[in-house]
Amino acid sequence: MGELAWLGRLNVGGLAGVLILAPVLTGLVVFLVRTKWSRKGIVTGTGWILSLGALALFGFGAVRRDTVSFMPPQIPGISWDAVVTGLDLLLIVGFVAIGFLLRRPIVAALAVLQAGLVLWVELSHSVRLEHPPLYVDWLAIIMVMIVSVIGSIVAVYGLPYMKEHEKHLGIPDTASKRPRFFLTILIFLGAMNGLVLSDNLLWLFFFWEVTTLCSFLLIRHDETADAEANAFRALWINMAGGVLFAGGLVVLSHAVGAVSIQRIVESRASVVTNPIALVGLGLLCVAGFTKAAQMPFHSWLLGAMVAPTPVSALLHSSTMVKAGVYLIARLAPAFHDTAMSDMIAVAGGFTFAAAALLAIGQTNAKKVLAYSTISNLGLIIACAGLNSPLSMAAAVMLIIFHAISKALLFMAAGVVEHGIWSRDIEDMQGLVSRMPLTTLTMVIGILSMLLPPFGVLIAKLAAIEASVRMPAALLLLVVGSTLTVMFWTKWTGRLLTADPSVVFPRIEHLHSMYFVPLLMLTIGALGFSLMVVPLLTQLIVPAVAQYYRSVQSDVTTLVQFDNVLGVPWALVFGVLALAVLWPLLYFRGPRTQRTGVYLCGEQVETAATTTFRTAAETAVPVTIRGHYFERAVGETVHARWMMTVSIAALVLMLGAAFLQR
């Protein structure tokens, strides 16, 4: 430990400044210096800076073992509060300009409303600002690791992807939009680090809205009519969430007299007996629902799938949408043991089950991943609403493992899309014969969301255990977990269905900037699951301990939950690997010994396909298609009642806050 003592003296304010400002500055360089090699070097170098900075912050937490409130580096004559306020107002002016330029008055109106509410809080004399604006604890460190490491991996993956994407769209290099794309990506990474390190809710609000702007710009990147429409939807829904956020700030500043998260949590005893303060917290939680694309706000995330795959992998799966669940988890101790907390658990559980049901009826791979993301974020919010040490430990586990697995799945799906130029799961039948390496990573990603010993399943078991005290939440979590198995296994079956005309899978050549990111995330999914016990004891328990004094006994329950973590996971991994590799032995044998499937009629064999000659002497290609139960689980069947129930749940949540005594 002595060798690491220098980490305890680390200038955490300077480190936070690097994590927030470095990607913004390098993004500006990428935008101004428009050469391929400089872009590759700067994006890769920024990834290393962020990853090493996140590791240094992790080392700081490992040495200090406590929480730290801090100021950014002081510069003579500069007030950081004034700088953030000025930037916030400038950002809002930008939203107003976007509203007028795109002839979207609702955007301008929402921006003006945000400005009024923020100025109200800024000018309020009842707000105490004695707490430093930035804060580091284990939860913040975990989020910084996710943003900086996974975000950097996705940014590097985007270098070859965006080149192929523009080539497919017929965009010449002289008209390339990649400098603007990577500028926005890197600004987003800095904003997310600022968001998770902010204790001052006014600072957090600024970074919150920067991510909204980045999301809008990236969804509309291709500037097609579809991209424009979906970008606008994402913008106004998230800006409406920003209004709710600002409204919550106004209410809390009046009721508690503070905009510090730590101050609000420390004032829990007075907060839970103050209906006005609880309503303020409820408004912040609903804002978290919008950012996390929870029902009834989920449509913006589904529409965002028109964006290039790196956008989906980064913003709309592993990081930006995590901002919503992060905010709710941060505030959870302040509304612990309230009816509002119970309603948050039910609302999150409903989205978990409902989105899993709708995912079953989808054939578009990115839409399945989007519904899965919405579903899992609902589960994390349900854990925050259950509001116990066990459920919060499950929530933190889900944040970590879901970020790794979903980034891997989106990136693999992007490689597949560029390989077959289709997102349809049906077109992925027999993909193991055409793209074996990518298929393997995708299957590992799916299994990591589905089976033990991967952390997602262990966290789900812990969440279900924690929900036993609340039957409604328990039912929703069990139903959602069951439905999840269905859509993942259907997709896996399509991927692993082998083409009988192929004796051995062909060798797949992947670009190094595809192969390395996919390999790193695959190793991460496998490695973190093998190390789930030390991950719990060394990382997750400290993240939860500051909120719940009884965490040691409660998390021991998690560690001993049905002896799940006492299983020899290395042996389990070996058995799973054998189960996947064993069928490959049956690919041996000369091709001449293989025959097509007999269809009880005159068949016409070709090298590429099998056709069947019908009674009218018409040759019809043989196709095998999965059943997606569209009439039973289609969006049009369930959309109306699901929206109604989810809106009612949020109304009841705010009502429960107001009626709390």
Task: Choose the final residue of a domain: 566, 588, 610.
Answer: 588
In this structure, the answer to whether residues 530 and 617 fall within a common structural domain is: no
Residues 488, 390 within the same domain:
yes
Same structural domain for residues 425 and 520? Answer: yes
- Specify the residue for token string 């985007």: 158
Residues 401 and 488 in one domain: yes
Residue 412 backbone phi and psi in degrees, to 5: -65, -40
For residues 488 and 520, membership in a common domain is answered with: yes
DSSP string, 86-99: HHHHHHHHHHHHHH
pLDDT attached to residue 598 = 55
* Length reported for the chain: 661
529 CA to centre of own chain: 18
Largest pairwise CA distance in the chain: 88
Rounded Cα distance between 391 and 436, Å, is 38
DSSP, collapsed to helix, strand or coil, labels residue 413 as: helix
Shared domain check, 604 and 531: no
At 346 the pLDDT is 95
303 is a domain residue: no
- Identify the domain boundary among 563, 588, 613: 588
Q: Which two tokens stand for residue 330?
A: 């941060």
| Cβ neighbours for 292, distance < 8 A, ≥ 6 positions apart | 321, 322, 323, 324, 325, 328, 377, 381
Question: What pLDDT sits at residue 3?
Answer: 46
The encoded tokens of residue 520 equal 């790193």
Residue 386 lies in a domain: yes
Domain assignment present for residue 489? The answer is: yes
| Secondary structure, 3-state, 591-631 | HHHCCCCCCCCCEEECCCCEEEECCCCCEEECCCCCCCCHH
Residues 475 and 597 in one domain: no
Residue 21 lies in a domain: no
Residue 608 Cα distances to 428, 504, 602, 621, angstroms: 16, 16, 17, 10
CA-nearest of 486, 468, 514, 499 to 591 is 499
Q: Does 56 fall in a domain?
A: no
Asked if residue 325 is part of any domain, the answer here is: no
CA pair distance 231, 510, nearest whole angstrom: 31
Q: Quick: pLDDT tens for 495-522.
A: 877 655 555 556 677 888 888 989 999 9
CA distance 25 to 260: 28
- Cα dist from 309 to 170, 190, 288, 319, 413, whole Å: 18, 20, 24, 14, 8
Rounded-to-10 torsion of CA 591, 595, 597, 603: 110
User: Is 104 within a domain?
Assistant: no
How many domains does the chain fold into?
2
End-to-end CA distance of the chain: 49
Whether residues 547 and 604 share a domain: the answer is no
Identify whether residues 584 and 595 lie together within a single domain: no
User: What are the residues whose beta carbons fall under 8 Å from the beta carbon of 288, sequence distance 6 or more?
Assistant: 241, 323, 324, 325, 327, 328, 381
Query: What own/partner pairs with CB < 8 Å and gap ≥ 24 does 99-103 have?
Result: 102/232
Dihedral class, residue 62 (left if φ above 0, else alpha if ψ from -120 to 50, else beta): alpha
Spacing of C-alpha 79 from chain mean position: 33
Q: How far apart are CA 115 and CA 426, in angstroms?
A: 48
pTM of the model: 0.90
User: Residues 224, 229, 234, 235: is their CA dihedral positive or negative?
Assistant: positive
Residue 482 has a CB neighbour count (10 Å cut-off) of: 11
- Asked if residue 348 belongs to a domain, the reply is yes
Which of these, 236, 235, 274, 239, lies nearest to 258 by C-alpha position?
274
Q: Which residues contact 558 (CB under 8 A, 6 or more apart)?
A: 390, 393, 394, 462, 465, 536, 565
d(CA 62, CA 84): 30
Strand partners, 69: 135
What is the 8-class DSSP label of residue 538? I
The CA-CA-CA angle for residues 639, 644, 647, to 5°, reads 120
Alpha-carbon distance of 656 to 549, in angstroms, equals: 26
Going by their DSSP bridges, the two strands 134-136 and 68-70 should be labelled as antiparallel
pLDDT at position 607 is 46
Do residues 576 and 602 share a domain? no
Q: For residue 599, give its domain range.
A: 589-621
Residue 632 token pair: 């039973």
Contacts of 297 (CB under 8 A, 6+ apart): 237, 241, 289, 290
Residues 599 and 528 in one domain: no
579 and 617 co-located in one domain = no
- Quickly count: other Cβ atoms within 10 Å of residue 58's Cβ: 18
Question: Tokens 């060394």 map to which residue?
Answer: 538
Q: Please state, in angstroms and rounded to a whole number, the distance separating the CA atoms of residues 613 and 460.
A: 50
Residue at token pair 């064993």? 582
Residues of the chain with pLDDT under 50: 1-9, 562-563, 589-593, 607
